[in-house]
Structure 1
C-alpha cells in the first residue's frame, strides 16, 4: 500500500487558453458572443462547458467555427476530468469530418489519459499525417515513452521538436521537467522549473514541479519555502499542504504537521491524506492511543479507505498490537485493491510475532507483486537469517536492499539482527561499510 496517494498536477494540456476569473453573467461584454468566447477558449473550463453548450445550440456557424467550438467543448470536458464526455464530443466531430486533425489530437489525449497508449499513439500519428502539430508530436512521444518503445533521450527529442514548432507550448516545457524527475534527474528538473518560473511566477504546475524537485533532492527547507509561496497565492491548497506536511514530518516538526494536517482536512475532508498525517504525527509525539482513535474516527468519515486501514495497521504494529494489526491489514488483503505494501506490512507483523513461516508467505507475495521495494527486500534478508540459508546469502540480499535505497533505520535493523544471531563480526563489517 503506497503510504499516501498524492494529487496529480502534471495535467496534459493539448491546447493553450486564457482563463480569467469566473463571474456572472456568462457573457457580460457587448463585444463578445457565446460563440466567440467558445471559439477563443477565453474562459475557465467549467464556464466553457456552459458557454460552448449555448453556442453550439445556435445556428449560422460555418464548418470551421463548428469544429473550433466542439474542440473547445471537448477540451473543457477533458480539463474537468470528464473524459468520456470529451471523447464523445471529439468522436462526433470525426463522424462529420474524419480528417479534422484537432478532434483527432483531442481524442488522442483522451485515450492517453485513459491509459490506452497504443490507441493514443495511433491517433497522434493520424493527426501528424494531416498537419504538423506541437501537440500531436508531444503526444506521440509521450505515448511511445509510456509504451516503453522509446528511451528518455528520444522522448526529450519529441518534446524539443514540439517546442520547435511552437516555442510557446508551455506544457511541453513543464513536461520535460516532470519527466526528468521521473528518471531521477532532479537537479536538472529543478533548474528547468526555476527558469520557467522566472518568466511565469504564477504557474502552479511549474511551482509544483520545482517543489517536487527540492523534495527529491532532500532540500526540505526549500520545499517548505516554495509551498508557503504557493499557499500564499492560494494555489491548490490541498496539494501544496500535503507536500509541506511531508517535509515537516521528515524534519520532525510534528506539531506543525498537526496544524497543517488539520488545515488539509478542512480543505479536503473527503481524502485520506490529512487524517493520516495527523495520526502519524500524534504517534511520533507519543500519543499512539489517540492516533489510533483518530484514524478510527477518520474511517467513520471516509468509509473503509484502504490507506486509512493500512496506516491503522502499521501504527498498531508500531505500538506492539500485533494481533489486531494482522486483523486490520487482513481487511485490505481480503479486498480487490490489495498490493505489495499490504503483504509487506503483514510480513513485518508476522515477523514481529515470531511466525516466520507466515512472514515468509507474506513477503513472497509482496515480492511477487514488486521486487524493487527496499524494505521488502530487507525483510527477505532478515528471514534468510532465521531460515539458516547462510549468513553470506542473507548479507548479499541485504546489499540488494541497499542498492534499492534502504533507509538508515533498515541498516540498523539488519545489523541488530546479525548481532542477535551471533554474527558480531559481520555486523561490525556491515556498519563499517554503511555507517549511515
Structure 2
C-alpha cells in the first residue's frame, strides 16, 4: 500500500494541524497505535475532518479491519467524493473483501478523477484481470506503466495481460524495458523469456532464460522457459534435458511438471506426458491448465474413457470453469460425441478468458458436425488469441474446404478461399517460424479437397511445398548410401491403419501378405496403437514390425535405421504423423498409394502407386509424383466373407417388396453435382409407385442433415415427394450390411468420389453396382472394378446415363437377373490377384536402382 498522503486540509487550530502532521509522520513510520490516537484527537476537534478520517480508515485497512476501513473512508469521501487516493483506498478495501465489482467501481472513479494516479490505474487493471476482463485491463495497466516504468509489479501485470490477449510483442516491449531498468532481477528475465517465446522469437527467449538462470541457477521456472525456447529452436533433445532438470531440481513444483508434460505431449510421448501431468495435478489440484493438458494427453493416448472421467471429476469441483468445460468437450469429441462436444465448447468459448486451445477445439468440433462457416470463425478467434499457434493457422486455412456444400458455386468459392489461405500460410511461416510451423503440420489437412471433382494438383503442390519446407526445419537423420548389387530389396510401409480398415483391406493387406520374401525384406511401421486380429497377422507376415517409437524424432530414426531402399505410405493425408513423416526424406525412394486417392503435392514423395484399371489415359498429369500404374486393380484383394445377418426390414422402416437402391456413401461424398441424377431416379420411382433410395446415417448427424436438406430442396423443385422415395437408416455393421445387400436391387455409387470398398463388397454379394466414371482416379474407384470384370454396361459417363442404368435395373427384371449371373460368374477375378504385387516389386526395384536377385 502507498505511504499515507500529506495532509491537505487545514485544521481548525494550529495545534490541530500540528497534531495531524505528527500523526502522519508516526503513520509513515509504522507506529499505527500512536498515529491513530492523534488522528482521533484531530477528528474530535474538527468532526468530519477529511484527512484524519480517511487515514483512520487506512490504518483499519492495514490492520485488516475491513468493515471499519470501509466505514471511515466512506465517511471521508462524503466531504470530498472525487479524491482519487481515498477512492483508491476504498477500492483496495473492497478488493481485499473480494467484492470485486464494487472495488472496480471505486478504482474507475479514482482513475477518472485523477488519470495520472498510478496506483488507481494499476489496481483497476488488477481487479479487471481478476474479473476475467483481461482485454479491458490492458488500457489502465498501460497508463500505470507509463507513470511508473520501473515498477516490477506493474510490469508483471501489464505483461501478463498482453500475453493473455495474444499481444506477445507488446509484452516483450514491457519486459525489455523492465530488464533494462532492473537487470539483476531474475523475474523480469523470466517473463521476458516467456513473452519472447509467445512472440515467436525463441532465440531471444533462450537468451532471456539463460540470463535468469545466471542470476538464479537451477530455478525451475527459468529451466522450463529454457526448455520451451530450445523446443522452439528445434532442439528437442536439449529441451527435454532442460525440462527434466527443472523437475529434478523442484520435484514438488506443479508448474514445472505441467510444462514438462505439455512438451512431452507435443512430442507424442503420451505415456510420459501423462505421468508428469498426473503429478502436476496431484501437487496442485487447482492448476486447471494441468488438468486440461492431462485430459488432452489421455485423449491422444487413446484413453478416452479415462479422459472423460477426469474431465467430469474436475468439472464437478469447478462447475463454472471454462477449462473444465473445454476438457469435457475434448473427451466427448475424442469418443465421437460431436454434438455434445460442440455444446460444451460453446459454453467454454463464451467465458471471457477462453484461450486459443478452446477456440481451436471448438472449431474442430463444429467442423466435425458439419458447421464449417462457424468453425472458420472459431479458428480465426484462436489465431487472434495466439498468433503463434501454428495448429490454429493450419486449421483456419483448411477450414475453407467444407464437408458439405449447397451448390457448385459454393464449392468453387471455397477453393479460391483455400488458395488465398495457402498463400497467407506460406508467407506467415518465415524461416524464423519454420520450427513452430512444423509442429502444426498434419494437425489439419486438406482432406475434403478430394471430394471436389476438379484437378486439385495446382492447389496441392503449393501446400506440399510449404509443408515440406516446414518439416525441413526438423533435422532428419542422414541416409547411408544403398548398394545397387543384386540383393533383396528393403521395403518399408508406414501406415496408421494396420487393422481391419478400408485402406488396409483395399490396399496394404494384399501387399504385406503377398510380397515375395525371396525378393523383398518388408519392415512394417505401425504408426497408431489401435490393433486387432489383422494387426497380429501383419506382425507375422512382415520381416520386421515396428510399433514402439512414440515421438516424431523416434519414428524418423527408426525408419532411417531400417536402411530402406523404398518407403511406401498408403494413406498420406489421413493421419497427422503420416503426413509429417512423409514430408521428410527418410528413404532414397518414397512412394504414396491411394488410401487418399489424389496427389500429395509433397516434393519428398517420388512415386504415386495406382492401377491401370483406375487411371484415365491422362492420369499422369494429375500427380506431382511419377505415376506407377500397376496392372489390373493394382492390389491383391481377398473377400471379406462376414457372417451374414438377415435384415430386420420392419425395424429399418423398409418394405422388402419394393426395389431398394442402396446409397452407402458418407455425407461428404454426396456433392451438389450428383443431385440431379438422384432426383431423376426418384421421379421414376414415384411414377412407378414403388422403390426407395436408401441412405445411411453417419456418426455425424449434422452432416447427414445438411445433405438431406439440400436434397429435399432439389426434390421439391422437381416436384418429387422426398419422403415417399427416400429412406434413411442407421449405419449397419458388416454382417447386417451384407445381409441387406443380398436382398436389395442395386447399389448406387457416389458421383465424383466413388467408393472402392463398397463397390467390391456389393459385387461380392452379386449385387449390381451402378458406377459413374469421372475424369480422375478418385471418381473411377467403382467403375474400375466393373470394367475390369467386363461389366461395362453398369458404368455411366453422364449423370443421365447413371440414372438410366439404375432405373433399368429396377424395371427390367430379366436384365437384372442376367447382370447378377454375370457378376456371380466373374467376381472371382477381383480376388487373390497377385499380378499387381509382382509388378509392384519390379517397379520398386527399378525405382531404387537395385538389381533383382537371381
Structure 2 residue matching 1:434: 3-state secondary structure: helix
Specify whether residues 371 and 106 from structure 1 end up closer, same or farther in structure 2 by C-alpha distance, changes over 3 A only. Answer: same
Question: Which position in structure 2 is the counterpart of 1:72?
Answer: 28
Specify whether residues 265 and 184 from structure 1 end up closer, same or farther in structure 2 by C-alpha distance, changes over 3 A only. Answer: same
Task: Please give the TM-score of this superposition, normalised by the length of structure 1.
Answer: 0.64
Question: Which position in structure 1 is the counterpart of 2:180?
Answer: 232
Q: Distance in 2 between matches of 1:219 and 1:387?
A: 35
Query: For the Cα contact (< 8 Å) 1:340–1:367, is it kept in 2?
Result: no
State which of 93, 97, 111 in structure 2 corresponds to 1:143: 93
Give the deviation of 1:406 after TM superposition.
Answer: 5.2
Query: For the Cα contact (< 8 Å) 2:298–2:306, is it kept in 1?
Result: yes
Give the deviation of 1:354 after TM superposition.
Answer: 1.7
Question: Which position in structure 1 is the counterpart of 2:197?
Answer: 249
Specify whether residues 147 and 394 from structure 1 end up closer, same or farther in structure 2 by C-alpha distance, changes over 3 A only. Answer: same
> Are residue 395 (structure 1) and residue 342 (structure 2) matched?
yes
Q: Distance in 1 between matches of 2:26 and 2:287?
A: 41
Specify the structure having the higher radius of gyration (Cα): 2
Unpaired runs of 5+ residues, structure 1, are 1-11, 18-61, 75-88, 112-118
Structure 2 residue matching 1:249: 3-state secondary structure: helix
Specify whether residues 272 and 69 from structure 1 end up closer, same or farther in structure 2 by C-alpha distance, changes over 3 A only. Answer: farther
Question: Which position in structure 2 is the counterpart of 1:80?
Answer: none
Deviations 1:16-46 (A, max 9, x none): 69xxxxxxxxxxxxxxxxxxxxxxxxxxxxx
Give the deviation of 1:65 after TM superposition.
Answer: 8.6
Query: What is the correspondence of 1:27-46 to structure 2 with a 5 Å cutoff?
Result: none
> Are residue 431 (structure 1) and residue 375 (structure 2) matched?
yes
Query: For the Cα contact (< 8 Å) 1:332–1:338, is it kept in 2?
Result: no
Specify whether residues 66 and 306 from structure 1 end up closer, same or farther in structure 2 by C-alpha distance, changes over 3 A only. Answer: farther
Deviations 1:330-355 (A, max 9, x none): 33344465543333232222222222
Structure 2 residue matching 1:354: 3-state secondary structure: coil
Question: Which position in structure 2 is the counterpart of 1:368?
Answer: 316
Task: Please give the TM-score of this superposition, normalised by the length of structure 2.
Answer: 0.35
Give the deviation of 1:366 after TM superposition.
Answer: 2.5
> Are residue 15 (structure 1) and residue 4 (structure 2) matched?
yes
Give the deviation of 1:434 after TM superposition.
Answer: 3.4
Q: Would you tell me which structure has more strand in proportion to its own residues?
A: 2
Structure 1 residue matching 2:370: 3-state secondary structure: helix
Q: Distance in 1 between matches of 2:275 and 2:163?
A: 35
> Are residue 108 (structure 1) and residue 61 (structure 2) matched?
yes
- CA RMSD for the aligned pairs? 4.3
Task: Name which of structure 1's ranges 217-226 and 289-298 shifts more when overlaid on structure 2.
Answer: 217-226
Structure 1 residue matching 2:349: 3-state secondary structure: helix
Give the deviation of 1:285 after TM superposition.
Answer: 2.9
Q: Distance in 1 between matches of 2:147 and 2:87?
A: 24
Question: Which position in structure 1 is the counterpart of 2:252?
Answer: 304
Specify whether residues 70 and 233 from structure 1 end up closer, same or farther in structure 2 by C-alpha distance, changes over 3 A only. Answer: same
Give the deviation of 1:69 after TM superposition.
Answer: 5.8
Specify whether residues 331 and 15 from structure 1 end up closer, same or farther in structure 2 by C-alpha distance, changes over 3 A only. Answer: same
Q: Distance in 1 between matches of 2:165 and 2:358?
A: 20
Specify whether residues 157 and 93 from structure 1 end up closer, same or farther in structure 2 by C-alpha distance, changes over 3 A only. Answer: same
Give the deviation of 1:147 after TM superposition.
Answer: 2.9
Specify whether residues 344 and 168 from structure 1 end up closer, same or farther in structure 2 by C-alpha distance, changes over 3 A only. Answer: closer
Q: Distance in 1 between matches of 2:286 and 2:128?
A: 30
Give the deviation of 1:385 after TM superposition.
Answer: 3.6
Query: For the Cα contact (< 8 Å) 2:227–2:243, is it kept in 1?
Result: yes
Specify whether residues 213 and 280 from structure 1 end up closer, same or farther in structure 2 by C-alpha distance, changes over 3 A only. Answer: closer
> Are residue 281 (structure 1) and residue 229 (structure 2) matched?
yes
Query: What is the correspondence of 1:111-190 to structure 2 with a 5 Å cutoff?
Result: 111=64, 119-126=65-72, 137-145=87-95, 146-148=97-99, 150-151=101-102, 154-156=105-107, 159=110, 170-180=118-128
Question: Which position in structure 1 is the counterpart of 2:495?
Answer: none
Query: For the Cα contact (< 8 Å) 2:253–2:280, is it kept in 1?
Result: no
Q: Would you tell me which structure has more helix in proportion to its own residues?
A: 1
Query: What is the correspondence of 1:309-320 to structure 2 with a 5 Å cutoff?
Result: 309-320=257-268
Question: Which position in structure 2 is the counterpart of 1:330?
Answer: 278
Question: Which position in structure 1 is the counterpart of 2:293?
Answer: 345
Specify whether residues 392 and 214 from structure 1 end up closer, same or farther in structure 2 by C-alpha distance, changes over 3 A only. Answer: closer
Q: Distance in 1 between matches of 2:37 and 2:103?
A: 38
Q: Distance in 1 between matches of 2:100 and 2:359?
A: 37
Give the deviation of 1:262 after TM superposition.
Answer: 1.0
Unpaired runs of 5+ residues, structure 2, are 7-17, 42-51, 381-854
Q: Distance in 1 between matches of 2:313 and 2:294?
A: 10
Specify whether residues 364 and 14 from structure 1 end up closer, same or farther in structure 2 by C-alpha distance, changes over 3 A only. Answer: farther
